[in-house]
Amino acid sequence: MSIIIVEPDPIAPVSRFGTWLAEWGETPVYLSMPQDADALTELARAVGTGTGGVDGLVVCGGRMSALACDEHPWLEDLGRLLRAVIAEEIPVFGMCLGLQILAHTFGGEVRVGDDTAGHDGPLTVTLERPALADPVFGALARLGTTVTVYESHNDHVSVVPAGAVVLASSTNCPVEALRYGSAVGTQFHPEASPDEAARWAESEYGPGAAGPARREAEEADPAIAAVGRALCRGFFDQVTARRSTG
């Protein structure tokens, strides 16, 4: 049984989430798109027939739209995998694009290219009341009702799936995190380090943006890393609890 990490885009690796999982003795299986698309197809089929050997799933971020199935056909298989693992109550963590794919898969709506809700850089988000009792987000309660996170997005979830619970929001984005069944997703990037911040800024705005983005991220990084590590630990504890009962 393994934690599967799906990386849709090489510019948005699992980064510190993988480091923390390794620190706790975990050796995840990585699937990088599009080169591992066939393996993703097979995994979705296997989990759907009860032979997948998955006890946790992480879906990372990326530059593509969650709706771009024609351009990225593996998105449909990722949706199938999400439906299969959530049907089995397997813990899932989606980051940014991962949240948007989760919402879209289960009937929510994703707004593409909406600068009014987008943000690049550190941001304060507010935990909603359901977050305090959530098995993953509850770990943030000791940090307060507002926390500092790192964001890099324009697309966002505009309508949550029926049955989903919003766990966090911000002034410009009403769905910063949600729970749907055994899955949680964040619009922000709990895995992101200052290295990612610099790389994303350079990709979006050119080389001159990398330095300022890195400095801004470094200044806020103690708080950002504390949130990321707490969420990763909450997810890992859910996986561990499921293993002990399964």
> What's the pLDDT tens digit per position in 52-97?
789 999 999 999 999 999 999 999 999 999 999 999 999 999 999 9
**Torsion of Cα atoms, 177 then 94 then 82 then 241, to 10°:** -90
Helix axes 194-205 and 210-245, enclosed angle (nearest 10): 130
Catalytic residues: 96, 189, 191
19 has a pLDDT exceeding 80: yes
Which range of residues forms the domain containing residue 76?
2-245
CA dist 63 → 67, 121, 154 (Å): 12, 16, 10
Residue 244 has what pLDDT?
86
pTM of the model: 0.96
Q: Average pLDDT, stretch 180-207?
A: 96
Binned at pLDDT 50, 70 and 90, residue 116 comes out as: confident
Mean pLDDT (the chain) is: 95
Non-local (6+) Cβ contacts of 113 within 8 A are 154, 155
Binned at pLDDT 50, 70 and 90, residue 246 comes out as: low
pLDDT in tens, 124-143: 999 999 999 999 999 888 88
**End-to-end CA gap in the chain:** 11
User: Two tokens at 179?
Assistant: 């729970």
Residue 17 has what pLDDT?
96
Whole-angstrom Cα distance, residue 221 to residue 170?
A: 19
Q: What is the CATH number of the domain that holds 82?
A: 3.40.50.880
Q: Average pLDDT, stretch 146-156?
A: 95
What is the domain count for the chain?
Answer: 1
